[in-house]
Amino acid sequence: MGKYIEDAKELLTYVGGRTNISAVTHCMTRMRFVLADPAKAEVDNIEKMGIVKGTFTQAGQFQVIIGNEVSDFYDDFIAVSGIEGVDKAAVKKAAKANQNVLQRLVGTLAEIFTPLLPAIICGGLILGFRNVIDSIYMFDNGTKTLVQISQFWNGVDSFLWLIGEAVFHIGIPLGICWSVMKKMGGTEILGIVLGITLTSSQLLNAYAVASTPASKIPVWNFGFIKVNMIGYQAQVIPAMLAAFTLVYLERFFKKITPKVVSMIVVPFCSLLLAVMMAHFVLGPIGWKIGSAISAVIYAGITGPVKVLFGAIFGTFYAPLVITGLHHMSNAIDLQLVADFKGTGLWPMIALSNIAQGSAVVGMAILQKKNAKAQEVNMPSAISCYLGVTEPAMFGVNLKYRFPFVCGMIGSGLAGMLCTLTNTTANGIGVGGLPGILSIKPQYWGSFALCMAVAIVVPIVLVLILGKKRLTESEKGLVADIDDVKKEEEFTVSSKQVDVCGCVEGNVIPLKDVHDKVFSEGLMGEGVAIVPDGEEIKAPCDAKVQVMMEETGHAVGLKLENGAELLIHIGLDTVYMNGEGFENLVRVGDVVKKGTPLIKFSKDKIKAANHEDTVMCIITDKGLAKDTELHTGMKADLNTPIITMK
């Protein structure tokens, strides 16, 4: 049981109970509530609680000041209230207020795919390896693959497909349905079941649709209507549409169904209707979209504007992969091979894979000191170069956005050159670097030139843009190791501690700050700084005790006299969700005076309509018996603004 369970229960009662809480989050010092009916909050009783240092309402939010213990208190509060996850949604909603529609869409897509990354990366490496051993004709004068000449490798290839099929054919639709339900607060097991119905063995495999005559496609015959029994293996759009349909159906039935029968009615009606919608409406729509795209591609690759088409297709093939509709290109490739003894479409697909992999290589170069990022970068680049792009795109390029665009540009230029030189492949092969072995020998030179473009352009563009767009922490660059001591070296004594200016600027009294929590001293005594600079530095030797890692707007330090110092950047900057802030140290680091702690952007704080005043608050005096505050001067690292004796 948590330390603050009883206090949390008491606060839950005084704010009007769970049903009165629309959203709750916390920042460095306070619980922040959005109440359905603010009048139900018993303010007097809340302020009498021992854990509470004060309350106030601002910008439609009821704020309860807890102090440095707010993080632990919050954990206990959501445990007793049963509203876990509401805080994250509230924070993300505030962050999305400053994003355009495209950024929100890509952000949502990344959130859905992030939990799937371990499986996607594993599957990508497996399929890439299988491409090498079963698709490259490197033996018997280029007529046989390794799998064809070796029973051992044939067995390995067959066994590895067990995992590859599980990840890509079944795992992606199923995982998407589960992830969407989890993100949207739905019942996750219903999402899993929905995903299974999209990939059931009872259905015709999605990969076999293009080669199966319409008369041979199995159907559900209801007498008055027939519905094709088609699976959606590796399909993204049908799975997402089905999952979001399930989410809103479940919400609808929960709202109108009496609780006494909710357990029976809600899952039955929600899942049944969602599966019907997926197979009767959403799936066919997805296939029609795919068919339309295929028709456009066929006309482009064989028409008079093929060079322009090469540029367009090369640029936008990667976004097509995201939708899962890229599988429709297989039908066009097969038709081209049948009609013209070769395909000019497939080489551009291979080049797109190479370009996206090269964008990841650029990121790997930029993030060479970020060990955590490299765990994703390296295997993603390898699998991409071997023909499987999902790990690279979802794990790296879409996450940072600009590498994805850089890959698209490189692919577009390579695609234009590919069609300009009439580069043609014998058939569908490995969609990566080994793809050159599937190109007709007379076009090896032109394809090699196209590959060079697809490799060099994305890497160069990523390196140029990444230097400005990546933060120091994303590059793996943190504070100088000489400025960070080991935690066990930090000791506490009763000596005098001088707290100097943590940022350049004018020092003002706390009473002049436009926030009651600080101006009325509810958090403790201290001073404020109207900053001229944009970097928070350690104002004295200290240990990093608290760091708001997601938002970056505040840091808590433990000083050498046992006192606790809160440095809070701006007012209500917690809602910027880290935009404009960069943490340079971690919790547990022991730093010297002058060590950079946080970088922040005054322009971005202003653009978000917040004040950038920096508060320096003594939340606990430790062993100090007296505190002197110094204001009306310029702050710097050599002049104390707080003296503790």
> Cβ neighbours of residue 382 under 8 Å, at least 6 residues apart?
125, 128
Burial of 572 (0-12, 13-18, 19+ CB in 10 A): buried
Greatest alpha-carbon span in the chain: 90
Q: Would the CA dihedral through 608, 609, 614, 619 be positive or negative?
A: negative
Residue 67 has pLDDT above 90, yes or no: no
Local confidence band at 487 (pLDDT 50, 70, 90 cut-offs): very low
Cβ partners under 8 Å of residue 583, min gap 6: 473, 547, 549, 552, 555, 597, 598
Give the start-end residues of each E strand in 250-293: none
The reply to whether 203 and 327 lie within a common domain is no
Asked whether residue 466 falls in the same domain as residue 334, the answer is yes
Is 492 within a domain? Answer: no
Percent of the chain at pLDDT above 90? 33
490: nearest Cα among 562, 575, 554? 562
Structural domain includes residue 491: no
Exposure b/e, 44-62, CB count within 10 A at least 16 = b: eebeeeebbbbbbeeeebb
Number of domains composing the chain: 4
Q: State the pLDDT confidence band at 482, using cuts at 50, 70 and 90.
A: very low
Residue 217 lies in a domain: yes
* H-only helix segments in 367-501: 371-385, 390-392, 398-400, 402-420, 444-469, 472-475
What is the 3 state secondary structure string of 334-363? HHHHHHHCCECCHHHHHHHHHHHHHHHHHH
**Which pLDDT value is given to residue 297?**
67
Does residue 432 have a pLDDT over 90?
Answer: no
- Over residues 491-515, the mean pLDDT reads 88
Task: Give how far the C-alpha of residue 107 lies from the chain's centroid of Cα atoms, to the nearest Å.
Answer: 6
502 carries an active-site annotation? no
Give me the phi and psi of 623, to 5 degrees please.
Answer: -90, 0
Q: Where are the beta strands (DSSP E) in 540-605?
A: 542-547, 554-559, 564-569, 581-583, 590-591, 596-600
- Rg for the chain (alpha carbons), in Å? 30
pLDDT band at 107 (very low <50, low <70, confident <90, very high): low
> Which CATH number do you get for residue 36?
3.30.1360.60
Residue 124 has pLDDT above 80, yes or no: no
DSSP 439: B
Tokens representing 167 are: 């990840």
State the average pLDDT over residues 63-72. 79
Residue 127 lies in a domain: yes
Q: How many residues does the chain have?
A: 645
Q: What SS3 state is found at 128?
A: helix
Other beta carbons within 10 angstroms of residue 620's beta carbon come to: 16
Q: Are residues 312 and 447 in the same domain?
A: yes
Contacts of 366 (CB under 8 A, 6+ apart): 462, 463, 466, 467, 470, 475
Of 283, 300, 317, the residue at which a domain comes to its end is 300
- Structure tokens that stand for 181 in this block: 């339900």
Overall average pLDDT of the 139-156 stretch: 90
DSSP 618-640: EEE-TT---EEE--SSEE-TTSE
Span 202-236, pLDDT tens digits: 999 877 877 788 888 899 999 998 888 988 887 77
Domain CATH code at residue 624:
2.70.70.10
Question: DSSP secondary-structure letter at 613?
Answer: P
**Chosen domain end from 300, 332, 359:** 300
Please determine, for residue 341, whether its predicted confidence score (pLDDT) is greater than 70: no
By CB atoms closer than 10 A (0-12, 13-18, 19+), residue 580 is buried
Residue 63: in which H helix or E strand, if any? strand 61-65
In a domain, 104, yes or no: no
The residues facing 30 across adjacent strands are 65
In this structure, the answer to whether residues 25 and 120 fall within a common structural domain is: no
The amino acid present at 608, given as its one-letter code, is A
**Residue 541 falls inside a structural domain:** yes
Predicted confidence (pLDDT) per residue in 258-299, tens digit: 988 988 999 999 999 999 999 998 877 866 665 566 567 667
CB 582 within 8 A of CB 552: yes
Look at residue 89 in the predicted model and tell me its pLDDT.
Answer: 47
CA angle 155, 159, 165 (to 5 degrees): 140
Mean pLDDT of the chain: 82
Q: Is residue 147 domain-shared with residue 91, that is, in the same domain?
A: no
Confidence grade of residue 480 (pLDDT, cut at 50, 70, 90)? very low
Residue that is last in its domain, among 300, 333, 349: 300
Q: How many CB atoms lie within 10 A of CB 152?
A: 9
pLDDT of res. 572: 85
Q: Is 144 helix (H, G, I), strand (E, B) or coil?
A: strand
The phi and psi torsions of 381 (rounded to 5 degrees) equal -65, -40
Q: Are both 501 and 578 inside the same structural domain?
A: yes
Q: Could you list the residue range(s) of the whole structural domain that residue 206 is in?
A: 111-300
Tell me the percentage of the chain whose pLDDT exceeds 70. Answer: 84
Confidence band, pLDDT 50/70/90 cuts, at residue 517: confident
Q: Which of 27, 406, 540, 616 is catalytic?
A: 27
324 and 267 fall within a common domain: no
The pair of three-digit structure tokens given for residue 1, joined into one six-digit string: 């049981």
- Determine which of 297-306, 355-364, 375-384 has the lowest per-residue pLDDT on average: 297-306
Name the pLDDT band for 443 (thresholds 50, 70, 90): confident
Does 232 share its domain with 311? no
On whether both 29 and 158 belong to a single domain, the answer is no
Same domain, 509 and 452: no
Between the CA of residue 3 and those of 48, 65, 69, 235, 540, what are the distances in Å? 19, 17, 10, 47, 31
What is the model's pLDDT at position 442?
80
Q: Does the pLDDT value for residue 636 go beyond 80?
A: yes
Residue 615 is assigned to a structural domain of this protein: yes
Give the span between the Cα atoms of 113 and 128, in whole angstroms: 20
Tell whether 486 is covered by a domain: no
Predicted local distance difference test score (pLDDT) of residue 567: 94
pLDDT at 158 over 90: yes
Q: What is the pLDDT of residues 557-581, one digit of tens each?
A: 999 888 999 999 999 888 888 889 9
Q: What is the mean pLDDT of residues 106-119?
A: 67
Q: How many DSSP H helices and E strands does the chain contain?
A: 24, 21
> What digits encode the pLDDT tens for the residues 604-632?
999 888 999 999 999 888 888 889 999 99
Q: Which amino acid is at 125?
A: L
353 and 277 in one domain?
Answer: no
Q: Any bridge partners for residue 568, and if so which?
A: 554, 615
| pLDDT value of residue 105 | 62
- Looking at 341-345, 381-385, 418-422, 587-591, which range is the least confident one? 341-345
Q: Are 81 and 21 in contact (CB under 8 A)?
A: yes
Q: Indicate if 142 and 59 belong to the same structural domain.
A: no
